[in-house]
Amino acid sequence: MNAETLRQYLEFYKDLGIDTVYRRRGRGPGAKGQGTDPEPVSALASSPSENQSPSDAQRSAPGPRPPAPGSSSESLLQILSDIGDCKRCRLHEGRNKLVFGVGDEHAPLVFVGEGPGADEDEQGVPFVGRAGQLLTQMIENTAQREGMPLKRGDVYICNVVKCRPPENRTPEPDEMEICGQFLERQLAAIHPKAICVLGGTAARALTGHREGVTKMRGKWFQWRDIPVMVTYHPSYLLRPYNQNAKREAWEDLKKVLHFVFD
Ligand code: URA
């Protein structure tokens, strides 16, 4: 297997929630047997509850919602100024721009990805590269097909970590924990009607569940009092070998859009 094929396999496994792969003993030079399984830490999860349908009360609530236990009176600007020129973890060392989030401060729907990539690091805006363009298309096209006049600017988009991990590696547990406090504050400030998490890393961070994304997708979880829908990360959908996942992601998105906007 050449290096490029191996890289694609590893990315594929990563998307399925498998962060560690083992070489079989005796297979290849220097094989050492098993390593240790790093515990993914969920800094953000609050009493996870899996696959409950969001309640009718949450579903129908017309007009302004009363302040809920998970909401705050902080503004996003306050949170941004608190982050400042953040050097709280090692990720600041390689960053060009901190990527805080983009969209409507009062959005009823928030999308949460893993962490900025190269394009996002350059522009300081989340999901503007190839994966971001796919996400924008998915949001706007699905909404249009379902008869909802929704644009990317009507939702809020952010990531678990605000600085690009080197070589786009998965953020480390301590990085997610340190940066996660700001994601929590963003979510509490916006207090959307639903959150849609993109990919296994963000899903595990926000829900506290440890399964791979293929097991979690399409199901409702909960962050504080807010329903959370899990779906695939758009960069996973860009890869050629998983066409089925695209259809599933569209199904997941339809579910969350109808819950929020019907
Ligand atoms: N991938 C992410 O998880 N977030 C971005 O902002 C871009 C790519």
pLDDT score of 24 more than 50: no
Q: What share of the chain is helix, strand, coil (3-state, %, to 5)?
A: 45, 10, 45
Mean pLDDT, residues 196-213 taken together: 97
Q: Is the CB of 111 under 6 A from ligand 1?
A: no
> How many angstroms separate the alpha carbon of residue 247 from the centre of ligand 1?
20
**What percent of the chain stands above pLDDT 70?**
74
The pLDDT tens digits of the residues spanning 116-135 come to 999 999 999 999 999 999 99
> How many angstroms separate the alpha carbon of residue 70 from the centre of ligand 1?
25
Query: Got the DSSP string for 119-183?
Result: HHHHHT-SS-SHHHHHHHHHHHHHHHHTT----GGGSEEEESSSSPPGGGPPPPHHHHHHHHHHH
**CA 141 vs CA 60, 248, 249, 254: distances in Å:** 24, 15, 13, 10
Q: Is the CB of 113 under 6 A from ligand 1?
A: yes
In residues, how long is the chain? 262
The pLDDT tens digits of the residues spanning 150-180 come to 999 999 999 999 999 999 999 999 999 999 9
Query: What is this structure's pTM?
Result: 0.81
> How many angstroms separate the alpha carbon of residue 113 from the centre of ligand 1?
5
Q: What is the largest CA-CA distance in the chain?
A: 65
pLDDT of 241: 82
- Comparing 37-41, 224-228, 258-262, the range with the smallest average pLDDT is 37-41
Let me know: does 228 contact 206? Beta carbons within 8 Å: yes
Domain ranges of the chain: 1-42, 47-261
Identify the bridge partners of residue 258 per DSSP, sorted by sequence position: none
Q: Which atom of ligand 1 is nearest to the CA of 119?
A: 7
What CATH number was assigned to the domain covering residues 47-261?
3.40.470.10
The pLDDT tens digits of the residues spanning 51-87 come to 656 754 354 433 444 556 668 899 999 999 999 999 9
Mean pLDDT, residues 20-35 taken together: 39
pLDDT score of 182 more than 50: yes
